[in-house]
Amino acid sequence: MKTNLQAMWQREGSDVSVRQRLYNVLRQAIIRMVLAPGQALSEKEIADLFAVSRQPVREAFIRLSEAGLVEVRPQRGTYVVGISRQAVLEARFIRESLEVAITLEAAKGTLSESVLMELNELIERQRSCIERQDHDRFFFLDEMFHRTLAFSTGQVMAWNVIEDVKAQLDRVRYLSIPDSTPIPKLADQHQAIVDAIAASDSDAAEKAMSVHQREILNSLPELERRFPDLFAGVGLAAPARST
């Protein structure tokens, strides 16, 4: 676990503040199950691992709590919570609503040829992950695809809202790759979105994005059956005291 966290810390880079870097690394570690539900987190251990003071770690824990990823219990400790099915469904609803609106904006013909080319290149890079079974890389490129689409239509605030609410949803998305939702299927859905946007076909663009955003509804029941211990409602081990 420590090796994985340190590798994620190095990949995150130092071009952001320590507080933001800590939050990004811990958030991704929880989403990717490096830090699993029920796992206790220690301010001191995290601070020592990354050679930082305990204050930014404490602040990161608070932000993670607000995102619904950890629970902070005074005098008892901080631990990773299980995936909340209700939080996943609510985040999915919000994300679909915003991303459909973004896609409809893009289908008005506002995207330049260079942006369309960039989106298609991202899809090709996603497809290159299939043979290598590089699920982490695909997950990153999937994020880049949706972020690029939002930013290219000038909807930065909408993307920030999506980022704020989708932490629980991302945990299920990560679990669903590759078995429940294979990479080729997701890449094909991305292609359908771009093709509809390029054709300025609003109806097709709306449908393609809705189908894509509802894909998780198909995989969620299967994931709950396969990974019951990762979902909220199971008996989690009592968290260790923070030190």
pTM greater than 0.85: yes
| 209-236: pLDDT as tens digits | 999 999 999 999 999 999 999 998 643 4
Q: Which amino acid is at 136?
A: D
Domains 2-81 and 85-226 share a fold: no
Other CB atoms within 10 A of residue 18 CB:
17
Distance between CA atoms of residues 53 and 59, nearest Å: 11
Please, which residues have CB within 8 angstroms of residue 184's CB and are 6 or more apart in sequence? Answer: 127, 130
**For 15-27, what is the mean pLDDT?**
91
**For 136-142, what is the mean pLDDT?**
94
- On the question of pLDDT at 75 being above 80, the answer is no
| pLDDT above 70 coverage of the chain, percent | 95
Burial 194-210 (b: 16+ CB within 10 A, else e): bebbbeeebebbbbbbe
Quickly tell me which residue has 């206790």 as its tokens.
40
Distance between CA atoms of residues 95 and 11, nearest Å: 27
Q: How far apart are the first and last CA of the chain?
A: 19
Tokens in use for 91?
A: 């985040």
**For 75-79, what is the mean pLDDT?**
86
> What is the DSSP code (8-state) at residue 108?
I
Check whether domain 2-81 has CATH 1.10.10.10, yes or no: yes
**Residues 34, 71, 44, 56, CA torsion sign:** positive
Distance between CA atoms of residues 99 and 214, nearest Å: 12
Output the CATH code of domain 85-226: 1.20.120.530
User: 78 falls in which pLDDT band (50, 70, 90)?
Assistant: very high
pLDDT at 13: 77
User: 241 falls in which pLDDT band (50, 70, 90)?
Assistant: very low
Task: Name the pairing type of β-strands 40-41 and 70-73.
Answer: unpaired
Residue boundaries of the structural domains of the chain: 2-81, 85-226
Q: Which amino acid is at 211?
A: V
